[in-house]
């Protein structure tokens, strides 16, 4: 009986470990996982992000099947600085990191609103320990 239990546990561990080896981008969970405690200075950015970005990049920038997570090392400031986010909104982006297709330009978002969105995304990244 004990051998059966041990074997069953071993099989489960091996199956779960196999799932960890896929290359799907993952959100690095913010240390502050209760997203209700977003600092007041990022609430406008969160609202704008949810309206303009979340349909593709997901709630809290976790990503979807339409777009990558922005809470990722790839989008940290030394690799994709704030001007990259501005260009992405203004001009769109050709797919180069993920297989989601090209990002279209996003109309109806001012430069100041993009700054609010970036501040919110950077806060999420800091909370996740990316930088």
pLDDT tens digits, residue range 40-86? 999 999 999 999 999 999 999 999 999 999 999 999 999 999 999 99
Greatest distance between any 2 Cα atoms in the chain: 66
DSSP β-bridge partners for residue 93: 103
pTM comes to 0.73
Note whether residue 23 is domain-resident.
no
Which range scores top for mean pLDDT: 9-18, 32-41, 108-117?
Answer: 108-117
- Quote the number of domains for the chain: 1
Note whether residue 106 is domain-resident.
yes
Predicted confidence (pLDDT) per residue in 80-127, tens digit: 999 999 999 999 999 988 899 999 999 999 999 999 999 999 999 999
Helix, strand, coil percentages for the chain (3-state, nearest 5): 55, 0, 45
Residue that wins the pLDDT comparison between 15 and 116: 116
Closest by CA position to 100, among listed 54, 43, 57, 45: 57
Note whether residue 79 is domain-resident.
yes
What's the rounded Cα separation, in Å, for the pair 6 and 91? 56
**In the structure encoding, which two tokens stand for residue 67, read together?**
């777009």
- Cα 71–Cα 73–Cα 77 angle in degrees, nearest 5: 90
Note whether residue 18 is domain-resident.
no
Contacts of 6 (CB under 8 A, 6+ apart): none
Q: For residue 92, give the DSSP letter.
A: -
Note whether residue 61 is domain-resident.
yes
CATH of the domain at 110: 1.10.760.10
Note whether residue 70 is domain-resident.
yes
Q: Domain of 98?
A: 32-127
Note whether residue 114 is domain-resident.
yes
DSSP β-bridge partners for residue 103: 93
Note whether residue 57 is domain-resident.
yes
């Amino acid at each position: 009986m004990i051998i059966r239990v041990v074997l069953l546990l071993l099989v489960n561990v091996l199956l779960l470990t196999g799932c960890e080896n896929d290359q799907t981008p993952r959100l690095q969970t913010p240390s502050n996982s209760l997203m209700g405690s977003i600092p007041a200075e990022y609430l406008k950015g969160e609202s704008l992000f949810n309206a303009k970005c979340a349909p593709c990049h997901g709630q809290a920038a976790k990503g979807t099947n339409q777009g990558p997570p922005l809470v990722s090392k790839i989008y940290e400031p030394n690799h994709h600085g704030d001007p990259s986010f501005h260009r992405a909104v203004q001009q769109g982006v050709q797919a180069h990191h993920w297989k989601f297709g090209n990002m279209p330009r996003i109309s109806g978002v001012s430069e100041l609103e993009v700054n609010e969105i970036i501040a919110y995304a950077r806060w999420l990244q800091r909370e996740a320990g990316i930088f």
